[in-house]
Amino acid sequence: MKSFIVTRSQINSLAAELLSKNWSIFTQSEDRKRFKQCESESEISVDGNGKPSDVSFKELFFPKSETLFYFNRDNEELTLLDPAEPGTKTVIFGAKPCDAASVPVLSKVFNWDYNDEFFNKRVENTIVISIACSYSDESCFCTSVGLSPFSEIGSDLFLIPTEKDSFILKIVSEKGEKFINEFPFMIQKEFEGTFDLENQKASFPKEKFDFASVKEWLGKNFKDEIWNEVGELCLGCAQCAYVCPTCHCFDIVDENCGVSCGRRVKNWDSCQFGLFTKHASGHNPREDQSRRYRQRVNHKFNYYKQRFDEILCTGCGRCTRGCPVSIDIAQVLEKIQCKQSAAIV
């Protein structure tokens, strides 16, 4: 697909035009906490240098609380009412490659045995404009899960900063192409050169572990001392899961909205909570934190790969940065890789 040269002011014009046409626009907030909705084009952040937001943009596709339907009982009659369809056309500006890559990963599970219409509608209505990432810290590990700061997976359009206020705009998906064709001023100057990705590789985060070895070890070692080592320190909150771009567990509950009406809601949930697997009988197959942490790692780096041929992790490092007790998942996986190497020798 084609690439074009665009300036920062053209990107601002695009945002202004979208706003005037009632599109919703999201971008990273200034404090880099989360993705916020913009009211003016001047708020747009297309910054490859910045830290990934503390909370991923997952909530724009899979909200933390989402009403499935409302119910109302009038005398003996029960009526059901659909919630408003998530119909707003949305553009996300300045997503990181480790954010964007989560969308196709999540799509697999949300279209597995059941098509989640809420999620699908949001994906259909959203254009993801990502930017090549030049940030990395001790928690980043995108290169260990098959991605890189230049990965275009999950993006519709991809920006590569060239010089000050100038970018290469790559069209990545058909949806992105159709979208950008509506804004001719963005596709005036075609980029005909080649971008030398090899040159950039020296600055990529170092590969911390070999995924294939990790997966192999996980498949063979359900019981191991390592789970107790991490489990005794893990406090069992869900921060790692809730800031994660790929964690997708939810719970479904009924809540009242008044005396005779209520709603069924889908809320984020996490395998790190004790209640998550507790049976009605009182039995809990994952009765302690070591078992719960083992589940988290296996789901991400073993089961999901088996079932969907995807790694349930984009290496963004949010779980590590946010962990109250600084558990570094990449360090845990490095240790696992060492165990696997030792087993082979």
Partner 1 sequence: MNQLIESAKDIFQNNKAAIIIGYTKDKSGRTKPFIAHNSDEAEKLTFNHHAVNNLAVYLTRLEKPKDGKIGIVAKGCDIRAINALIQENQIRRDDVLIIAMNCNGVVENQNEEFSKENTQIKCKYCQLRTPNNYDFLLGELEDFELPEDSQQELMNKLEAMTPEERWNFWESQFGNCIKCYACRQVCPLCYCEQCIVEKSMPQWIETSSTTRGNFSWNLIRAFHQAGRCIGCHECERVCPMDIPLTLLTRKMGMIAMKEFNYKHGMNINEPTLIGTYSTSDNEDFIK
140, 239, 243, 314 from 324: Cα distances, Å: 17, 8, 13, 21
Q: Cβ 158 to partner 1, closest distance in Å?
A: 28
Q: How many CB atoms lie within 10 A of CB 161?
A: 17
Question: In the complex with partner 1, which residue's Cβ is closer, 86 or 176?
Answer: 86
> Could you give the CA distance from residue 72 to residue 257 in angstroms, rounded to a whole number?
9
In sequence order, what are the residues at sequence separation of 6 or more whose Cβ sits closer than 8 angstroms to the Cβ of residue 59? Answer: 34, 35
Q: Cβ 41 to partner 1, closest distance in Å?
A: 24
Q: Cβ 285 to partner 1, closest distance in Å?
A: 17
> Could you give the CA distance from residue 159 to residue 44 in angstroms, rounded to a whole number?
14
Q: Cβ 77 to partner 1, closest distance in Å?
A: 25
Q: Which residue in 30, 174, 182, 251 binds partner 1 (CB under 8 A)?
A: 251
Q: Which residue in 201, 255, 306, 307 binds partner 1 (CB under 8 A)?
A: 255
Residues in the chain, total: 345
Residues that contact partner 1, how many (by CB under 8 A): 35
Q: Which residue in 267, 277, 291, 308 binds partner 1 (CB under 8 A)?
A: 267
Q: Where are the beta strands (DSSP E) in the chain?
A: 3-7, 24-28, 35-37, 65-74, 77-81, 90-95, 126-131, 157-161, 166-171, 250-256, 261-268
Is 325 an interacting residue with respect to partner 1 (CB under 8 A)?
yes
5, 211, 243 from 316: Cα distances, Å: 28, 15, 10
Note the Cα 266 to chain centre separation in Å. Answer: 18
Is 275 an interacting residue with respect to partner 1 (CB under 8 A)?
yes
Residue type, 290: S
End-to-end CA distance of the chain: 46
Contacting partner 1 within 48-67 (CB under 8 A) = 54-55, 64-65
> Could you give the CA distance from residue 181 to residue 4 in angstroms, rounded to a whole number?
12
Q: Cβ 236 to partner 1, closest distance in Å?
A: 5
Contacting partner 1 within 156-195 (CB under 8 A) = none
Is 33 an interacting residue with respect to partner 1 (CB under 8 A)?
yes
Is 243 an interacting residue with respect to partner 1 (CB under 8 A)?
yes
Q: Which stretch binds partner 1 (CB under 8 A): 40-48, 94-102, 175-183, 321-329?
A: 321-329
Is 224 an interacting residue with respect to partner 1 (CB under 8 A)?
no
Is 249 an interacting residue with respect to partner 1 (CB under 8 A)?
no
Question: In the complex with partner 1, which residue's Cβ is closer, 139 or 314?
Answer: 139
Q: Which of 146, 147, 151, 62 is nearest to 107 (CA)?
A: 62
Is 239 an interacting residue with respect to partner 1 (CB under 8 A)?
yes
Is 233 an interacting residue with respect to partner 1 (CB under 8 A)?
yes
In sequence order, what are the residues at sequence separation of 6 or more whose Cβ sits closer than 8 angstroms to the Cβ of residue 95? Answer: 35, 57, 128, 129, 130, 131, 155
Contacting partner 1 within 64-93 (CB under 8 A) = 64-65
Q: Are 107 and 138 in contact (CB under 8 A)?
A: no
The contact mask relative to partner 1 for 120-159 (x = CB under 8 A, - = no) is ------------------xx--------------------
Is 236 an interacting residue with respect to partner 1 (CB under 8 A)?
yes
Is 30 an interacting residue with respect to partner 1 (CB under 8 A)?
no
In sequence order, what are the residues at sequence separation of 6 or more whose Cβ sits closer than 8 angstroms to the Cβ of residue 27? Answer: 35, 36, 38, 43, 44, 45, 46, 92, 93, 94
Q: Which stretch binds partner 1 (CB under 8 A): 6-14, 266-274, 294-302, 305-313?
A: 266-274
Angle subtended at Cα 264 by Cα 119 and Cα 80, rounded to the nearest 5 degrees: 100
- The residue ranges that bind partner 1 (CB under 8 A) are 31, 33-34, 54-55, 64-65, 138-139, 232-233, 235-239, 241-243, 251, 253, 255, 265, 267-268, 270, 273, 275, 322, 324-328, 331
